[in-house]
Structure 1
Amino acid sequence: MGHREDLLEGAKRCLLEKGYARTTARDIVAASGTNLASIGYHYGSKEALLNLAFLRLTEEWGDRVTVPADEVGDGDVPAAPLDQFRAAWEKVIGSYSDSRAIWKLQMEVVSRIDTDPELQQALAGPQQEGRAGLAENMLGIAPDADPETARVVGLFCQALLVGVMVQWMLDERSAPSAQDLTDGLKAVLEGRRS
């Protein structure tokens, strides 16, 4: 790896260990084995590097929790939407203990949005891409085939993901399981009333 990649890997480690606000340029240099001038040369600023490192961490997490279509369906028959939804949530929730640092980092980044326009701008496009990925992973809706449905389903899934994330961080004993979420969605779709 060259300095550029070393810096990115070092920044990712620092974000997971220290968080966004507490990571200094010197921390990144120490974690990457590079020098301070490399940050400016390769990324322009520490903030630009941290923003990219955060995006890469969330992309890597997304890749780890993506459920391949052939894991859920029955051979050539695609999975039923609720089966896809449950399988996706099983992976997300199953990743919780290994991903807690990423979830904490996401909460910190959200808390910085109002005071950091550069961060907000850096996240705008990737957030839309992430929603499209959620729609496809959680309910099998391909963004290319049906962009508007993928957009609104992505919004729904992102809202649900953030809520579930907070519940797991606060009290994992009472947080929802994948089956709880699937049963809840099914009840909403069926319009059950007491």
Structure 2
Amino acid sequence: MGHRDALLAGARQCLTTKGYARTTARDIVAASGANLGSIGYHFGSKDALMNEALMQATGEWSRELEKALTTDVDPAAGRLDRLAMIWDRIITLIHSHKGLWAAQFEMLTQIHLAPEKYPFATQAQAVARDGLATLLKQVDPSLNRDESTLLARFCLVVMTGLMAQVLTDARSAPSGRELAEAVLLIAEPHLREQQRAAR
């Protein structure tokens, strides 16, 4: 493993064990076995290295999410059951990557103090939204592109709230079925109104 890969591996280890803000360049060097000068040589700064490590870890989580949502899906399942399955699997993955989400929140809480981080955060959001839209269309082929993008944006908002709840009070986090039923409760009055208008 070269210095660049070793630094990324060390930074990722530090993200989950020390957090985003508390990790120092020396922590990364100790975790990676590389030298201090190689951070500047390969990444320009410790922050740039931490951002890349965070993006890499999030990318791996996205691939795990894709596998979780596309494996063993019952094609005969109704939309409510598919939605409940999607959220149950997302919740399981959130629980298994608490350190990653703690680091994400930590970075986001500092963003107003470091405007140079906005492009990174904006890019990460766009990548997450587009990837999730593609994945949701795979899970539910009846969705068109606009619908899958809208659903992805909604899911990202709910996922952010879920991550916060899992980090602070995991026992009171809703189940996938509860989330799916809540979505239906929100949608039902509108659907009834549409049905009345169509008569």
TM-score of the aligned structures, taking structure 1 as reference length: 0.85
2:155 aligns with one of 144, 154, 157: 157
Paired letter, 2:106? E
Q: Residues of 1 paired with 2:90 and 2:105: CA distance? A: 16
Q: Which residue of 2 aligns with 1:24?
A: 24
Give yes or no for the alignment of 1:180 onto 2:181. no
Larger radius of gyration: 2
Paired letter, 2:64? R
1:120 aligns with one of 118, 132, 136: 118
Given that 1:72 and 1:83 are in contact with CA atoms closer than 8 Å, whether structure 2 keeps it comes out as: no
Question: How far is 1:172 from its partner?
Answer: 1.8
Secondary structure of the 1:83 match is helix
Q: Which residue of 2 aligns with 1:38?
A: 38
Q: Residues of 1 paired with 2:110 and 2:82: CA distance? A: 33
Q: Residues of 1 paired with 2:124 and 2:79: CA distance? A: 25
Given that 1:12 and 1:53 are in contact with CA atoms closer than 8 Å, whether structure 2 keeps it comes out as: yes
Q: Which residue of 1 aligns with 2:130?
A: 132
Q: CA RMSD in A?
A: 2.3
Question: How far is 1:150 from its partner?
Answer: 3.3
Q: Deviations over 1:17-50 (max 9, x none)?
A: 1111111111111111000111111111111100
Question: How far is 1:80 from its partner?
Answer: 4.5
Give yes or no for the alignment of 1:84 onto 2:87. no
Secondary structure of the 2:80 match is helix
Paired letter, 2:5? E
Given that 2:11 and 2:49 are in contact with CA atoms closer than 8 Å, whether structure 1 keeps it comes out as: yes
Q: Deviations over 1:138-184 (max 9, x none)?
A: 56468xx62x3333222211111111112222222221011111111
Greater shift, 38-47 or 167-176, is seen at 167-176
Q: Which residue of 2 aligns with 1:72?
A: 73
Q: Where do 5+ consecutive residues of structure 2 fail to align?
A: 193-199
Secondary structure of the 2:23 match is coil
Task: Give the share of equivalent positions with the same residue, in percent.
Answer: 40
Q: Residues of 2 paired with 1:73 and 1:124: CA distance? A: 35
Given that 1:141 and 1:149 are in contact with CA atoms closer than 8 Å, whether structure 2 keeps it comes out as: no
Given that 1:57 and 1:102 are in contact with CA atoms closer than 8 Å, whether structure 2 keeps it comes out as: yes
Given that 2:39 and 2:45 are in contact with CA atoms closer than 8 Å, whether structure 1 keeps it comes out as: yes
Q: Which residue of 1 aligns with 2:102?
A: 104
Give yes or no for the alignment of 1:51 onto 2:63. no
Distance 1:117-1:80 versus aligned 2 partners, 3 A rule: farther
Higher relative contact order (CA 8 A, sep 6+): 2
TM-score of the aligned structures, taking structure 2 as reference length: 0.83
Q: Could you say which structure has the higher helix fraction?
A: 2
Moved segments of 4+, more than 6 Å: none
Distance 1:128-1:96 versus aligned 2 partners, 3 A rule: closer
Q: Which residue of 2 aligns with 1:5?
A: 5
Secondary structure of the 1:35 match is coil
Q: Where do 5+ consecutive residues of structure 1 fail to align?
A: none
- How many residues get paired? 187
Secondary structure of the 2:171 match is coil
